Structure 1
Amino acid sequence: MGRFLTRISAMLALTMALAGMSANTASAAGAAACRAGTLYLTFDTGSMSQAELIARTLRRHHIRATFFLANEPTINHDSSLDPAWAPYWKALAADGHVFGTHTFDHVYLRSVRGDKVTMRPQFGAQAGKDVTMTANAFCTELRRSAQAFQSMTGQPMAPLWRAPGGRTAPQTLAWAGQCGFRHVDWAPAGFLGDELSSEKFPNQALLDRALRDLRDGDITMAHLGIWSRKDPWAPAVLEPLLTGLEQKGFCFATLREHPRYRDWFQAPTLQSSSPEGRR
């Protein structure tokens, strides 16, 4: 009986030692995989022509990204936040991606004079017209995407926004913060160029530039499809870009893990925030 217990104890000790070695090995492998640092992939809606392909590619590489949603016309002759796209957004949410607002009507900042902010919606009832926005109107514009996303997926949108064209002003940044959203730009090297002319900026040149210039902590920006680019960016660039970055030792994470934004996720929820309440 004593020998039996001794043998069992030895086996347990060996099992625990092997488990410890496995944990250390996994930890070391993770550190090796991230030897070049972490990158943060982001995608804006666009025409949605590459949406399914991008989702499949990210899934195959086990990469989670951050998506910024506006209600844009799609190749399906509907809009990206129509209920018809609910299965797509639900599937991405189930994959663990993060979602922010890109304004609902893809509203560009035109000018700020004093407390007068002029915006131009690219889509919707006021498309192509300059409109003056108040803090409440601007907050409503940001929240419309969040509300559409939650109605389709049952999940709240992250407290993040990206201005169309990256155009912001101190006033719009302050207004967004007052109603619960923090702006997300992209790194210079993170501009992946999918909206540029494919004749002047061929896919191979965009791929080479990104592989050469991206650095630890960079936020990238591309779209789920661009109407004007004749030679689509995905899959020509996306697949070899992800493979090349992985081979260089980069890891990928959502903006929920980004040092600049992770604390912002602890802010009050969007539903309870308002410009008046957060001043």
Structure 2
Amino acid sequence: MPTSVCNKTVYLTFDTGNMAMAETIAAILQRQQVQATFFVANEKTSRGDFSLDDSWRSYWQKLAQAGHHFGSHTYDHLYFQGDGKAGFVRLKPQFGADAGIGKWYDAPALCAELKRVDGRFHDLTGRHLEPIWRAPGGRTSARLIALAEQCGFQHIAWSRAGFLGDELDSARFPNAVLLEQASRNIQDGDIAMAHLGIWSRKEAWAPAVLEPLIDNLKQRGFCFATLPVMTAKSLPLKP
């Protein structure tokens, strides 16, 4: 049985992805009485709609009512491509009207994209995001992070040991291996990251890994916490 006493903390986080495991993950978190932080983008889902469509309203409402935290993952899932002239970064939307087209963003344009998620999430749930965000793919630069900070959004990456591997090839990284690595390597204060569903993985990650991982970490004395707003210097960066 999991220990009832904890002396370490782990921050469990999820990016939207294709949402195929969204209901499974929500049920596991509820059953385990664990709260997490979700980074939300309007991504295409495995059922053909988008993750911020009205069809997902009840899902986000239930998570919000359960006390989970939420940050921006950029509305159209913008991938960082590089810095440009002073004050500009190049980002490529994965979805939306300009999908696949790299564009230059200054601070106001980036902030509008981050806040667009907040506006839509508030429409769906009546709740605003925490002033935090995560860049798709973890791709950043010092300038990109600084531009977002101009409108109050702090970037949250993940810890090296917290990369849970749900986007890796199933044949090379089977669930049993991912579970063993995370159960052993996660340390106090680590930020863990997975998705609510991922297109690239054939072996479903969440049913086989998430709940036993939570059990294993509880056995090691971990509590699970939502992410507070932290200074950029305190955040682990993706290697």
Normalising by structure 1, what TM-score?
A: 0.80
Q: How does 1:1-279 map to 2 (within 5 A)?
A: 33-35=5-7, 37-115=8-86, 116-256=88-228, 260=230
- Post-superposition offset of 1:32: 6.2
Larger-Rg structure: 1
Normalising by structure 2, what TM-score?
A: 0.93
2 CA distance for matches of 1:117 and 1:243?
42
2 CA distance for matches of 1:83 and 1:44?
19
Q: Deviations over 1:159-193 (max 9, x none)?
A: 00000111111221111111110000000000000
The corresponding residue for 1:28 is none
- The aligned amino acid for 1:61 is Q
Q: Which has the higher helix share?
A: 1
Q: Tell me the secondary structure at the aligned position of residue 33 of structure 1.
A: coil
Q: Deviations over 1:249-268 (max 9, x none)?
A: 11111003x7x36xxxxxxx
The corresponding residue for 1:272 is none
Unaligned runs of at least 5 residues, structure 1: 1-30, 262-279
Of 167-176 and 45-54, the range deviating more from structure 2: 167-176
1 CA distance for matches of 2:197 and 2:89?
30
Q: Deviations over 1:111-139 (max 9, x none)?
A: 11332311111111111111111211111
Q: Percent identity?
A: 54
Structure-2 change in CA distance of 1:32 and 1:152 (3 Å): closer
**Comparing both chains, which one has the higher relative contact order based on Cα–Cα distances under 8 Å and sequence gaps of 6 or more?**
2
- The aligned amino acid for 1:41 is L
Q: Tell me the secondary structure at the aligned position of residue 119 of structure 1.
A: strand
- Post-superposition offset of 1:70: 0.4
Q: Tell me the secondary structure at the aligned position of residue 111 of structure 1.
A: strand
Let me know the Cα RMSD of the aligned residues.
1.5
- Post-superposition offset of 1:75: 1.5
1 CA distance for matches of 2:181 and 2:167?
15
Alignment coverage as a number of residue pairs: 229
2 CA distance for matches of 1:181 and 1:242?
29
Unaligned runs of at least 5 residues, structure 2: 232-239
Q: Tell me the secondary structure at the aligned position of residue 225 of structure 1.
A: coil
Q: Tell me the secondary structure at the aligned position of residue 221 of structure 1.
A: strand
